[in-house]
């Protein structure tokens, strides 16, 4: 990691952070290319056999969203646009590393995909956390001119992020409590994998600490990519859903609500002033 002078707070993205983003991106793109187009062939192509097809497509959706995030991170100019994303990825990778150890016997140990999976999730949490800690040393405080989320927007985004985190942690700690009520078939391992995907939503909590629009902007784009892919996956795998379970409809409405809310926020804040210099309309956003 490159040395950083304690007095420097220019919010730049360090070379180590950019390099890590470049390193991780190909793995995410490869995993997406395997899991989303042919989710029924995981026994031959992936680290473990996953049934039904909805679960690998959910995981693949997170991978493509992550790939987009790291591609953008490779040339981002300001650390604040990446900070909450790196924290969420650290949690995601850590949970998958723990799930790998807990369910070690479920994996295809003779497959190269398993060793790529294990190597990535045993190392990535430390690498991503290291990038977060190092880059935090040059983190700059918000300026008075930067566009901020209004109180209502901030509370809603933070609340949704907190709910996603609590949902994910509950599923990870007690998978058996969710397997019987989940919209599609889960095992303890796949329940924990889906839980890790939910925990990516914890990025929304970051607005409670840093309410700048620029800090949420990229996260919102990543979220939309993931949600759209998950909804398309649900249409593809509609026969795998148990429509008699209330959570099936609650989950669908939840994803549609997140997509609608994200679109609304994007139109509101981009149109209201997406640059660092607020426009006259910005004042009215403080109460939104």
Q: Per-residue pLDDT tens for 158-209?
A: 999 999 999 999 999 999 999 999 999 999 999 999 999 999 999 999 999 9
In a domain, 286, yes or no: no
In a domain, 198, yes or no: yes
Residues 90-103 have a mean pLDDT of 98
In a domain, 282, yes or no: no
DSSP structural state of residue 212: B
Residues 264-288 have pLDDT tens digits of 999 999 876 444 444 443 333 333 4
The predicted model scores a pTM of 0.90
In a domain, 285, yes or no: no
Burial (CB count within 10 angstroms: exposed 0-12, middle 13-18, buried 19+), residue 82? buried
Residues 38-70 have pLDDT tens digits of 999 999 999 999 999 999 999 999 999 999 999
pLDDT category of residue 2 using cuts at 50, 70 and 90: low
Residues 119-138 have pLDDT tens digits of 999 999 999 999 999 999 99
Distance CA 202, CA 92 (A): 10
In a domain, 3, yes or no: no
What is the reported pLDDT for 1? 58
Which residue range forms the structural domain that includes residue 214? 15-140+148-275
In a domain, 222, yes or no: yes
Alpha helices in 137-212 (DSSP H): 151-173, 176-179, 188-199
When divided into structural domains, the chain yields a total of 1
């Amino acid at each position: 990691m490159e040395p950083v002078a304690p007095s420097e707070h220019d919010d730049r993205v360090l070379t180590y952070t950019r390099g890590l983003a470049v390193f991780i991106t190909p793995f995410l793109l490869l995993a997406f290319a395997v899991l989303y187009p042919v989710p029924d062939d995981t026994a031959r192509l992936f680290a473990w056999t996953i049934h039904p097809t909805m679960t690998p497509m959910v995981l693949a959706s997170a991978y493509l969203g992550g790939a987009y995030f790291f591609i953008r991170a490779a040339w981002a100019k300001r650390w604040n646009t990446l900070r909450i994303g790196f924290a969420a990825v650290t949690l995601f990778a850590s949970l998958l590393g723990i799930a790998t150890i807990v369910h070690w016997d479920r994996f295809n140990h003779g497959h190269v995909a398993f060793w790529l999976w294990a190597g990535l999730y045993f190392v990535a949490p430390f690498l991503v956390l290291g990038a977060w800690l190092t880059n935090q040393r040059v983190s700059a405080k918000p300026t008075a001119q930067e566009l901020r989320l209004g109180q209502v927007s901030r509370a809603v985004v933070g609340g949704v992020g907190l709910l996603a985190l609590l949902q994910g942690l509950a599923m990870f700690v007690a998978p058996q409590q969710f397997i019987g009520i989940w919209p599609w078939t889960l095992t303890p391992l796949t329940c924990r994998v889906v839980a890790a995907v939910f925990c990516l939503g914890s990025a929304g909590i970051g607005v409670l600490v840093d309410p700048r629009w620029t800090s949420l902007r990229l996260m919102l784009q990543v979220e939309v990519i993931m949600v759209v892919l998950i909804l398309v996956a649900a249409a593809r795998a509609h026969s795998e859903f148990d429509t008699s379970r209330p959570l099936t409809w609650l989950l669908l409405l939840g994803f549609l609500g997140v997509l609608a809310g994200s679109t609304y926020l994007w139109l509101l804040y981009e149109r209201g002033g997406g640059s660092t210099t607020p426009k006259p309309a910005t004042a009215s956003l403080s109460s939104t």
